[in-house]
Amino acid sequence: MTDPREKDAGGRLQLPPMPVVGEEGYSAYLLGEYYGEAIPNLVFRLKDGSRVAKAYHWLGEVEYLPGFGVRLVFPDGVVTIRGRNLLGMFTAVSQHAVRVVWEADRATSFLVPESEPLVEAIERTPPRG
């Protein structure tokens, strides 16, 4: 059975490019399929194509910082999501309704209208103390 995904000259799988903004394109966060769906993990999709998943049951505190973004506190560290128009994401994360938080690359960030949510950076730091 062969893998249908494209590979680079070295035989490594290529990461898909960040999509453009639109109906099938970039979204700062992706919600569950239906209301009440049990979503076990919150996935952070970084601009370099890597992904990190954190279990919702370890999420201790969610803090909305107007004009800055959202802080998520886990036992193994803090995830800071910087961006704009993220109040809706804060509400959805606090209700465990977000599947994916998606960090936009520079080119994509220019395409997102000012009125839409945009995740400019996702930063992970170890716990204090």
Q: What is the pLDDT of residue 37?
A: 83
User: Which of 113, 115, 129, 109 has its CA nearest to residue 47?
Assistant: 109
Q: Residue type at 22?
A: G
Cα gap 105→115, rounded to integer Å: 18
Structural domain spans, the chain: 39-125
Q: What is the dihedral of CA 105, 15, 81, 34, to 10 degrees?
A: 120
Range 56-91 burial, b when 16+ CB lie within 10 A, else e:
beebeebeeeeeebbbbbbeeebbbbbbbebeebbe
**Predicted local distance difference test score (pLDDT) of residue 17:** 46
Question: What per-residue confidence (pLDDT) applies to 34?
Answer: 79
Question: Cα separation of 105 and 108, whole Å?
Answer: 5
pLDDT, position 18: 44
Cα–Cα distance list, 83 to 33, 40, 92, 115 (Å):
24, 24, 16, 12
* Averaged pLDDT in 10-residue chunks for the chain of 129 residues: 53 50 74 85 95 96 95 96 96 94 93 93 86
pTM above 0.85, yes or no: no
